[in-house]
Amino acid sequence: MQPGLTPGPFAFWKGDDVKEDYETPFKLAKKYMVWVSRSGLLHELTSIELKGRTVIMHSKCGQILKASNSRRSRAARWLRHKWYYKPCKRCKIPDERLKSFGGRMLRKV
Ligand SMILES: [Zn+2]
């Protein structure tokens, strides 16, 4: 934090997110082969590729997902905390996979 600045309401998140030793979303997604979409759906991935700073993924349900490979992105935070609203129905992620991912299902508010 810069000197002279008072911590805002998001100071906690900022401090949490700028840590450099966090794994990138690419690494996390590759490890679990899952991805949390913008709407909070957990997709199973069939392929994942890193092109520069962009992660390009194919989900089992046939979508092409693109995301920035930034540790500070929404997806990075969701993957790191293993949050999702619900598993994608069309991906049909097996229960064992969900269990090994060990995520937490959030309630939509
Ligand atoms: Zn899906």
CA of 88 to the centre of ligand 1 (A): 4
105 confidence band (pLDDT: 50, 70, 90)? confident
How many angstroms does the Cα of residue 11 sit away from the middle of ligand 1? 34
Ligand 1 centre distance from Cα of residue 78 (Å): 16
Distance 68 CA to ligand 1 centre (A): 19
What proportion of the chain, given as a percentage, has pLDDT over 70? 79
> What are the tens digits of pLDDT across the range 78-104?
999 899 999 999 999 988 888 888 877
> Which pLDDT score, from 0 to 100, does residue 54 have?
96
pLDDT at position 98, please?
86
CA of 1 to the centre of ligand 1 (A): 39
pLDDT in tens, 56-77: 999 999 999 999 999 988 899 9
C-alpha of residue 23 to centroid of ligand 1, in Å: 23
Residue whose structure tokens are 């269990």: 99
**Confidence (pLDDT) at 46:** 97
Query: From ligand 1's centre to the CA of 108, what distance in Å?
Result: 18
